[in-house]
Amino acid sequence: MAKQHFWIACLALGALSVYLFVSAPPPLEEKATDAPIPVERMFEILKVENDVVRAMWTKEVVGAGKQNGLKFDERWRDADVEAGPLPALFLRETARSLEKNPTPLSLFLGSDYPINSANRFEGLQLEKFQVVKQTLKPQFFFLPDIQMRVAMFSDLAVVEGCIQCHNKHEQSPKHDWKLNDVMGATTWMYPSGSVSMDELLRTLVALRQGFKEAYESYLEKAQKFANPPAIGEHWPVEGYFLPSSEVFMGEIARRTAPQTLAALSSLASKPQSGSATNK
């Protein structure tokens, strides 16, 4: 059974590499798994995928784009602003897509010093975030008031542009950020302490859908610029270009496939222990 589940996972992930290029894949058949998968393992897989996309967006779209005439702004959705979303706002767009998806996954970027006060951690989340700041280790816990399992992963200040933006922003409550500071935490929520392989794969599809919709929102805006960038095979590092949605998603699939396949292989080939979520 373990080998069968592994190949089911491989085939499904293969669909992730090409899904939505033409149309979404058909619903996965319900498959019984040998054992439930702790939700923490799913969070870790999602985190790796998000890290890849976040780094790609920050360095290869925003960073390179600014060098070649593209602009990025927190007011990027305003009609009179010809710009794209900053890294944190790209994550927010992804989260908005997840909110519309039937998969019960939530995602947000929180902090103890956020520019937007709505993103400030409080209560148990703030307590857990302090541990993240001190140890740089992820925190997995249960929020009883909303009955959700939570994973927090540190969000480090690794790009000078992000640091300058926060330090200079008039609404920022902190103006002395430095490289490698823990600026916040990427936070995931899910209602169950464990998932089936099918649920995990559906959640991966939902996250990829979120990346795709976030990027396509930017492409739609960029096409309306007075001087729109050429959209196709080329990336901003090559000039005033943006990759098409297919090229962008294809690169995500290429970069995430090795780690995600390895994680799915590990889950499918050995029995899973119970959830380690702390209540």
d(CA 160, CA 167): 10
How many C-beta atoms surround the C-beta of residue 234 within 10 A? 16
124 band by pLDDT with thresholds 50, 70 and 90: very high
Cα dihedral 139, 145, 149, 152 in deg (nearest 10): -30
Q: What is the pLDDT of residues 85-117, one digit of tens each?
A: 999 999 999 999 999 999 999 999 999 999 888
d(CA 275, CA 44): 13
Please give the pLDDT value at position 157: 84
Please give the pLDDT value at position 13: 52
Distances (CA, A) of 106 to 97, 149, 150, 210: 10, 10, 9, 11
Task: Say what percent of the chain tops pLDDT 90.
Answer: 73
* pLDDT top residue among 272 and 219: 219
Query: Model-level pTM?
Result: 0.86
Q: Calculate mean pLDDT across residues 112-132.
A: 94
Structure-token pair, residue 168 = 């200079």
201 band by pLDDT with thresholds 50, 70 and 90: very high
Where do the domains of the chain lie?
2-269
d(CA 60, CA 67): 10
d(CA 212, CA 222): 15
Q: What is the pLDDT of residues 160-188, one digit of tens each?
A: 778 888 888 888 889 998 988 999 999 99
